[in-house]
Amino acid sequence: MTARSVVAALGLSLAIAAVPARGAAVNVTSQTRTVHVAIPSIVEGEADIDETSTAPDNGTFDASLDRTLSQAEQTNHALASQLSSFGELADVFTATAQGETRYSATGLEGIVFAESNFSITFTLAEQRDYTINGTGSFPDTGSGASNFSVILTGPGGTVESFTKADFDPALGDGTQINPTFGNSGTLPAGEYTLAALSGVSGGTNTTEILANFSVDFTATAAGEPPPPPTGIPLPAAVWPGVMMLGGIGAALKKRVLRK
């Protein structure tokens, strides 16, 4: 081994010692993502509409149920849709979801129903910084029920909660309310559930009732600390090995010079 190769080996050892460990991957332990619509029949003997679409795995879920039941000169309609995905890239775990629900009914006995439901449960093996932001929408009216919510829970209970109740002016004037929300902080290691929901339901209502949600969530592993102004400090346990490599390098250099 030449002195030059020893120096190269020493440099490689220093580089390896200085590289920070990557964050442990976020483990998604369960997911429930569905869209559901139901319209009752108003003609005896004819079937109701009652359909659900469910995400089969952890892949992107892009589903829409848009159903109309026209009977006895009445037209009743329900729609539920969702586009959602989650995953991790470069130590950043991201979950994003948009859900929409609508219904209208010119005449029926019973309830029309539409719901978009998003829920994932995941485990953090280490502390992570997070951000959450999004929007919702619902009508300020007593005619027809509507709901939206985005909630993050963890080992200590509720971490973030954004719901219709937080933004509802309760004026009953029919105005469509479109709140925005967001927050950030730090999550300790543990198990968390991120859930989002929009839903509408009601009886005869010729004015369409709409509710939706949109949420973006990230959980980022601790970043690499900024480099020091001169050199890279090493843990104390590394120095004996460094000194040994340095001694070997010096001895080989003297041997080469004698030749």
Report the first-to-last Cα separation within the chain, whole angstroms.
14
Q: Specify the pLDDT at position 228.
A: 56
Q: What is the pLDDT of residues 14-68, one digit of tens each?
A: 343 433 446 789 999 999 999 999 999 999 999 999 999 999 999 999 999 999 9
Per-residue pLDDT tens over the stretch 111-120 = 999 999 999 9
Q: How many of the other CB atoms lie within 10 Å of CB of 20?
A: 10
Spatial CB neighbours of 257, under 8 Å, sequence gap ≥ 6 = none
The two structure tokens encoding residue 79: 């729609």
Burial 139-165 (b: 16+ CB within 10 A, else e): bbbeebbbbbbbbbbbeeeebbebbbe
Task: Round the average pLDDT of the chain to a whole number and report it.
Answer: 84
Q: Which residues contact 54 (CB under 8 A, 6 or more apart)?
A: 32, 33, 34
Helix, strand, coil percentages (3-state) for the chain, rounded to 5, are 15, 55, 30
Note down pLDDT in tens along the chain; length 259 residues.
Answer: 554 444 444 444 434 343 344 678 999 999 999 999 999 999 999 999 999 999 999 999 999 999 999 999 999 999 999 999 999 999 999 999 999 999 999 999 999 999 999 999 999 999 999 999 999 999 998 767 999 999 999 999 999 999 999 999 999 888 999 999 999 999 999 999 999 999 999 999 999 999 999 999 999 998 644 455 544 444 444 444 434 444 544 444 444 444 4
Amino acid 64 reads S
Q: Check residue 22 and give its pLDDT.
A: 61
Question: What are the residue ranges spanned by the domains of the chain?
Answer: 27-220
**Maximum Cα interatomic distance, the chain, rounded to a whole number of Å:** 107
Residues 4, 221: Cα–Cα separation, whole Å: 38
pTM: 0.78
